[in-house]
Structure 1
Amino acid sequence: MAKKLSYKAAGVNIDAAVDALSKAKAHIKSTFNKKVVTDIGSYGGVFDMGGGQCTVASTDGVGTKLKIAQSINKHDTVGQDIVNHCVNDILVMGAKPLFFLDYFGCGKLEGKVLVDVISGMAKACRENGTVLIGGETAEMPGVYKEGEYDLVGTIVGEVEKKKILTGKKVKPGNAVIGIGSYGLQTNGFSLARRVFESKKIPYTKYIPELKTTLGLALLEPHRSFLKSVYPLVQKGLINAMSHITGGGFYDNIVRVLPGNVDCVIKKGSWEILPIFKMIQKLGGIEDREMHRVFNMGVGMVLIVPADKAKTVVSSLKKSGERAWLIGNITKGNKKVTVV
């Protein structure tokens, strides 16, 4: 029997991160003033600008997906990843993007690599109607090894105060809709890399079930859901949204649940991509761990009134999305289950 792998065994301890952040909350909140609208734990920080308008800001990184890009010397898609990830993180608050800033840190600056990364960011910014307004390029030998780099982004968007999505409208009976991803997005790569590298499968190997090489399948860009979802936000059809990033279903959907409800996700109600089946089989990974680490083919979750579910799914499909009814909201105490 194959040895079972986990995110923690691969070097990422989600529980430790949650514990550390909970201990740091008092320090963070000591800086808050009356213009801060949302609490710690939201996908973005909301700041009241007056006149009924708010800004929403969020920061994230590409993570160890960069190791795949560096391994096969392909760097344009990770630029798209960071922009789209950040766009989605403020979209779930009901916001549209205004501008984006990046941080690129490396051991030794390689001009072509930097240009490729920036070209990817610029492409995604154009597609999302946002401005790549600035950033920082830091060359730090001794901090990063030669050939390695880190990529982080910060996005600022806007939303009307009365239209901020916080999850307060979520009620028992609401429907849960999943929108399809094209791959791992930007999360779970430490575990995925551990699986494939432990099996000595090169990233340049063509995998028939993936219809491409392993490396290119893993580098499939993180998608932006702005164009298909924002119109639904504007029409008031969505009660809450969750971007399925680090923490998978369990640690992301719970962020938008009120204390008196649970979210029940039904296995088999959506298409699980071949890359996730391959990771689970090769790594002998438990189902719960898979759904806590990876998006499993669902890039974003929408919680909507049950009588609006068909309308929302239809709209998403007309926009070119793969969308499914994947669960429902029940009475409970702020838990997510995958059954």
Structure 2
Amino acid sequence: MTKPLSYADSGVSIDAGDELVERIKPFAKKTLIPGVLGSIGGFGALFEISKDYKEPVLVTGTDGVGTKLKLAFLLNRHDTVGQDLVGMSVNDILVQGAKSLFFLDYFACGHLDVDVAERVVKGVAHGCELAGCALIGGETAEMPGMYPAGEYDLAGFAVGIVEKSQIIDGSRIKPGDVVLGLASSGPHSNGFSLIRKVVEVSGKPWTTKLSDGKTLADAVMEPTRIYVKPVLEAMKSVTIKGMAHITGGGLLENIPRVLPEGTQCVIKAGSWKRPAVFDWLQEEGHIEDHEMYRVFNNGIGMAVIVAAEDAEKAQKALKAAGETVYRIGVIEALPAGEALCVVR
């Protein structure tokens, strides 16, 4: 061999990485909020905590998008999975009352397609705008041989802040409290292995029209709803005792995570409008009700628990902030031998 080898010969393009950084800088700039120091491209991202907080507590969360990415590859829809990535983390830390401060993303691939990566990161930036947090850094990793051609993986990391005295931990929840449900935009980013299996077994195309007029592809790729701004706005006028982000595990496994010992959440079946995509999935997959409630959000993306006397006020505040709100259940004393969350 007489030709000198370069990194490009091994499948890694430094130039493509540099180009992506330059392309995403305008998107990141739109997300900047007070506290951000520096800009995209440094070795570390800097953020100054506001002196308005007396006892600031940082709250962190990290997640990915899961096998929803398989559909992004199949359907060539890369514009919204970035919002999914942000939503999964910022909604998680919101549960403890945290305001999102900043977000970092990790984009890994075998070969960097700058156009695709730009679409993905643009979606990340849009999600950050919806959450009111800054996209202050991230990492793009081009690793030949690690991923099939045309595929990539995503991970994200969010940091938020809350006053120590205002942390929401569910400890004040008691029997008689009301459970409100905030509508989801669809499956969000959970249950996609089962979704893909149902579609495979059904033999139906992704262009199949659902009862609400949407195509199957549009319904399942609808990005995760980000609840941060509406909930924080409602918290200014209403005391929220507990929240649960309805992700993997559905209503049955996520709500119990915030319940104090000796209490049970009783969900009233049919108390909210379920998106048509869930009806289609259950029918085509012959999925039992219990499995639907354990795998999918079934149309409820966030559960909010308040005192009975605050329920109406909370509903009005959340609706005024842009949410579709349902009264979906109550908290009761836990009967011996029963599950922590039941649907009746």
TM-score by length of 2: 0.81
Q: Distance in 2 between matches of 1:326 and 1:173?
A: 13
Q: What's the offset of the Cα at 1:236?
A: 4.7
Identify the match of residue 341 of structure 2 among 332, 336, 339.
336
Note the residue ranges of structure 1 that are not aligned, 5 or more in a row. Answer: 1-48
Percentage identity across paired residues of the two chains: 49
1:210 is displaced (CA, Å) by: 4.0
CA displacement 1:243-300 (0-9 Å, x = unmatched) = 0000001110010001110000010100111000000000000100000000000010
Change (3 A) 1:241 1:282: same
CA distance in 2, matches of 1:141, 1:169: 51
* Offset at residue 108 of structure 1 (A): 1.6
- Structure 1 Cα separation of the partners of residues 155 and 213 of structure 2: 30
Q: 1:81 aligns with which of 84, 98, 109?
A: 84
| 1:94 has 2:92 as partner | no
> Partner amino acid for 2:226?
S
Q: Deviations over 1:167-218 (max 9, x none)?
A: 1010010000001011001101100110002222222x14142423221211
State how far apart, in whole Å, the 2-side matches of 1:210 and 1:191 are. Answer: 21
- 8 Å CA contact 2:234, 2:321 repeated in 1: no
1:68 match: 71
TM-score, reference length from structure 1: 0.83
- Whether contact under 8 Å (1:85, 1:223) holds in the other structure is no
Superposed displacement of residue 66, structure 1 = 0.8
What residue number does 2:325 align with? 323
Please state whether the residue corresponding to 2:292 is helix, strand or coil.
helix
1:18 is matched with which residue? Answer: none
Distance 1:267 1:93 in 2: 27
Query: Letter of the aligned partner of 2:175 in structure 1?
Result: P
Q: Which structure is larger by alpha-carbon Rg, 1 or 2?
A: 2
Mapped to 2, the partners of 1:196 and 1:248 lie a distance apart of 20
Are 1:166 and 2:169 counterparts? yes
1:177 and 2:177 correspond:
no
Aligned-partner Cα distance in 2 for 1:337–1:208? 29
CA distance in 2, matches of 1:75, 1:267: 35
Partner of 2:161: helix, strand, or coil?
A: strand
- Work out the number of aligned pairs and report it: 290
Paired with 2:214 and 2:173, the residues of 1 have a C-alpha distance of 40
| Pick aligned residue for 2:304 from 302, 305, 309 | 302
Match of 2:284 among 282, 285, 290: 282
Specify the SS of the correspondent of 1:251. Answer: helix
Tell me: CA distance 1:335–1:208, structure 2 relative to 1, closer, same or farther (3 Å). closer
2:210 and 2:276 in contact (8 A); partners too: no
Task: Say if 2:210 and 2:280, in contact at 8 Å, map to a contact too.
Answer: no
Counterparts of residues 99-178 of structure 1 (less than 5 Å): 99-178=102-181
Distance 1:208 1:236, change over 3 A: closer
Aligned match of 2:265? 263
Q: Given residue 277 of structure 1, which amino acid in structure 2 is its aligned partner? A: D
Secondary structure, aligned partner of 2:92: helix
What letter is aligned with 2:100?
Answer: P
Q: Counterparts of 1:131 and 1:191 in 2: how far apart (Å)?
A: 33
Deviations 1:55-83 (A, max 9, x none): 00000111111111111111010011111
Q: Distance in 2 between matches of 1:323 and 1:194?
A: 31
CA drift at 1:319: 2.2
The reply to whether residue 252 of structure 1 matches residue 254 of structure 2 is: yes
**By how many angstroms is 1:125 displaced?**
1.1
Whether the 8 Å CA contact 1:84–1:224 is kept in 2: the answer is yes
Letter in 1 for 2:128: C
Q: Map of 1:206-285 to 2, 5 A cutoff?
A: 206-285=208-287
* C-alpha distance in structure 1 between counterparts of 2:168 and 2:89, whole Å: 16
Secondary structure of 1:270's match? coil
* 1:142, distance to aligned residue in structure 2 (A): 2.7
User: What SS does structure 2 have at the residue aligned with 1:98?
Assistant: strand
- For 1:80 and 1:309, locate their aligned partners in 2 and report how far apart those are by CA, in whole Å: 30
- Superposition RMSD on alpha carbons, in Å? 1.6
